[in-house]
Structure 1
Amino acid sequence: MGSRKKDRCKKSKHKKHKRSGDAGEAWEATKDRVRAHFLDGNTGPWAKSLAAQDAQSPRSAQNENGADPAEDAAASAQGGTATIAATRRGPDYSVPSSIDIVADPVLHALSIRRSISKVDPETPNDSDLLEIIRSISSVADHKALRPWRFLIIRGDDRHRLGDALDDAAGVVRKPGETNTKPLRAELLLALVSSPVEHDKVPEWEQHATAAGAGHLLELALWQAGWGVMWRSGNLTNTEPVRRLHRLDDHELLMGWFYIGAVPERYRQRLTTSTRPLPKPEQFLDTL
């Protein structure tokens, strides 16, 4: 982001959140300290902590109107449903964010990630994939059950997948014809959710963990310079397809990641893209 654009953003944010006197100046200084720690390589929480130490002045626990959040909570608990509904305020956006998406490499990668529907033939090798899988093993995982795995699909195995999809759909092709859908990339990774019995971790939660591993895989591949598209469909867990992937009865096939180099035309479009991210307000609320 250019310096002029940054200046405009700062002015707009300052205008939207009116602050006066010493309080406004102190907050701007805190934001600058947080950003400096971001640029020094500290993650979000560490950057905030270090900035707070720099300032040596803990933020007040009171709202801007002087009310104590703990007292508000106690009052609401006594008031009943009608009172809670009448006094519910929703999220408080009056304090500007100290998070800098551009400065933080993880947040920046998250914000610019895109699914690439058509990838070039070059792919990561299996050793590259091993390192990618190592990096995503930190996915949130209740009781560390690791209820997921990936299957590498290259070369003729893609034709076998096409045959299984045709079998599931009841499609009979002419001699020499083949299902070209699995050929849209030289490398596919199949994601299998493989839950285990556990009295404290229900099956749905383990499927959620597997899906989380899939999303981290996409982000890790993107950050490593590869294009990826997560595909599935109505035939994903049909019997011929499950048999090809050697799934046990309790396992769930969650689709395939089509992986390859990002075409130059996509790279050019990404540098000039003005497509905004969804407005985050729709995803955030309070009780």
Structure 2
Amino acid sequence: MGELMGSDKKGKKHKSKKCRRSGGRDDDACQVTRDRVRAHFLDGNTGPWAKNLAAEDMKNARPAADGATPQSAEAAAADERPASGESSRRGPDYSVPSTIDIVADPVLYALSTRRSISKVDPETPNDSDLLELIRSVSSVADHKGLRPWRFLILRGDDRIRLGAALDEAAGVHRKPGEINGKPLRAELLLALIASPTKHDKVPEWEQHATAAGAGHLLELALWQAGWGVMWRSGTLTNSEPVRSLHRLGENELLMGWFYIGAVPERYRQRLAASTRPLPKPEQFLDTL
């Protein structure tokens, strides 16, 4: 979160007067508010919800004795940690406070607030937009720079052809005029294809990981650019009719489709009020 914001008569946002003052207790109070928002966010609350909780904290906080600024929740937690070297417990050492602020950094904030949008609106990025987004994700970690991935655009009737291929793979026979509507849930589908090449030092599984990494980066790039996306696959993804439709080589792997479109307003409202907790990061980090 940046500095505290207010609004003028025209509805434009500006910095709060208290936060604009240099030095003194007002600057301290603003810093405490930011610290409290960050602490709530790192505890698993979404951005808007973390701000609401921080506001409640400030409302309920009693003035500190002799003018001292109330201690932030994060600082209080740091005080309770044992000093380095006091414990022989194995595992990560969290006694040194982090210098990373995922609330203030726009990229880290986008990473932490990304959501899959199952139902998107019809508006889509154009092909030139897609080219620029794919340019940005081409920096994915890639051993030996093999670029073992590519994307295919599916719009219009291509989506109907995909539905027919899925029906063929599943042995589904529809009545005349009926079609498989699942690929029509978005106006734009982007198929991700892993295209590994034989290399003595880069096994196929590692090249598949690179392709998946490109897909995850594309999801994040689309989200940061304001688009909703859902990565879908299924048991028929690499069936022969579907592989044939996508013109896959023998060694290629279809990794699914990104269903892309505008984020509906109802989703935006739900995201703004969301209280779904983030997973606890401690479960993903350990030491040997």
Same fold by TM-score greater than 0.5: yes
* Cα shift at 1:64: 2.7
Count of matched residue pairs: 225
**Residue 64 in 1 paired to residue 92 in 2?**
no
TM-score by length of 1: 0.75
Partner amino acid, structure 1, of 2:77: K
Deviations 1:142-173 (A, max 9, x none): 00000000000000000000000000000000
| Pair 1:139-2:170 in alignment | no
Matched, 1:125 2:126: yes
1:23 alignment partner in structure 2: none
Tell me the residue number matched to 2:153: 152
Q: Which residue of 2 aligns with 1:256?
A: 257
Q: In structure 2, what is the equivalent of residue 226 of structure 1?
A: 227
Letter in 2 for 1:282: Q
Shift of 1:261: 0.3
C-alpha distance in 1, partners of 2:228/2:123? 10
Assess if the C-alpha contact under 8 Å between 2:165 and 2:245 holds in 1: yes
Distance, in Å, in 2 between the alignment partners of 1:227 and 1:219 is 10
Which amino acid counterpart does residue 188 of structure 2 have in structure 1? L
Q: How does 1:81-230 map to 2 (within 5 A)?
A: 89-230=90-231
Structure 2 CA distance, aligned partners of 1:95 and 1:201? 37
Identity %: 79
Q: Is the CA contact (8 Å cut-off) linking 1:230 and 1:258 kept in structure 2?
A: yes
Counterpart residue number, 2:74: 13
* Counterpart Cα distance in 2 of 1:126 and 1:91: 45
Partner amino acid, structure 2, of 1:6: R
Q: Distance in 2 between matches of 1:5 and 1:246?
A: 55
Residue equivalent to 1:240: 241
Quote the Cα distance in structure 2 between the aligned partners of 1:215 and 1:196: 21
SS in 2 for 1:175: coil
Could you tell me how far apart the structure 2 residues matched to 1:88 and 1:185 are?
A: 51
Provide, for residues 22-62 of structure 1, a one-character-per-residue CA deviation record: whole Å limited to 9, x for no partner. Answer: xxxxxxxxxxxxxxxxxxxxxxxxxxxxxxxxxxxxxxxxx
Structure 1 residues not aligned, in runs of 5+ = 20-62, 68-86
CA shift, 1:65, in A, is: 2.8
* 1:123/1:260 contact within 8 Å kept: yes
Summarize deviations over 1:67-116 as a string: whole Å, max 9, x none: 9xxxxxxxxxxxxxxxxxxx661011111111100111211110010000
* Inter-partner Cα distance in structure 2 for 1:7 and 1:239: 55
Amino acid in the other structure paired with 1:18: D
**Aligned partner letter, 2:164:** D
- Which ranges of 4 or more aligned residues in structure 1 deviate by more than 4 Å? 1-5
The normalised TM-score by structure 2 is 0.75
Rounded Cα–Cα distance in structure 2 between residues aligned with 1:258 and 1:216: 15
The Cα RMSD (Å) is: 1.7
Gaps of 5+ in 2: 5-29, 40-70
1:197-245, Cα deviation, whole Å (9 max, x unpaired): 1000000000000000000000000000000000000000000000000
- Tell me the residue number matched to 1:266: 267
| Bigger proportion of residues as helix | 1
Shift of 1:5: 4.3
DSSP 3-state at the match of 2:269: helix
Checking the alignment, whether the CA contact within 8 Å between 1:121 and 1:186 is kept in structure 2 is yes
1:149, 1:194 within 8 Å by CA — same for their partners in 2? yes
Deviates more, 1:8-17 or 1:218-227: 8-17
Which position in structure 2 is the counterpart of 1:84?
Answer: none
